[in-house]
Chains A and B, each alone.
Chain A
């Protein structure tokens, strides 16, 4: 069946560097994608979303890029800070009212 997946399970970056977290999706009909951040002991927190009629969307220190040709989604975090350490999930609509989540990438920011 269709699934959302992540290329790298863990990512370690130095404070101040830029981070890139990747996500591959397999449902070419998906028209909406969301990135979530989950800190230890908390629920997933919405970061940014993008619709399929766009290829780039920017937020505060974050940018999401969508490449529909290769069905690839990425989250870029500029000037990564210790508070960015968390697990990041991409998600897309599934059947009915469901959202399908990837397994997550753990981002570790080192001083």
Chain B
């Protein structure tokens, strides 16, 4: 039982490159989220998927796209990376919505040069 698994753990990109961050969960949760964490800014919601087949923007969606591939997997794509997207990205899940605890993965540390 791995919980929430994120890949890769680390990534360095050059400005303009693209990449997809992967997230998979084995908790049978319905809702999945992508957050970014920056020093002094706390955790900010990028996108979420309330249930399979739906996605919605969070607080900071610009420059990102998401895909809820199935109930288990929720990916985050950077089409053209920018230095401002240097951050630690966390995937999280809840059984349903935001009235139950989020369970987080261990993050992807992304540097854009």
Contacts and interface: CB of A to CB of B under 8 A. Distances in A.
B91 to A, nearest CB: 8
Contacts of B42: 89, 101-104
Interface residues of A, number: 23
A36 B50 CA distance: 21
Interface string B78-113: 000000000000101000011101111111000000
Interface residues of B, number: 25
Interface of A: 31-32, 34, 36, 41-46, 49, 89, 91, 93-94, 96-99, 101-104
Nearest to B104: A43
A49 B101 contact: yes
Interface of B: 4, 31, 33, 40-43, 45, 48, 50, 56, 58-59, 90, 92, 97-99, 101-107
A44 B90 contact: yes
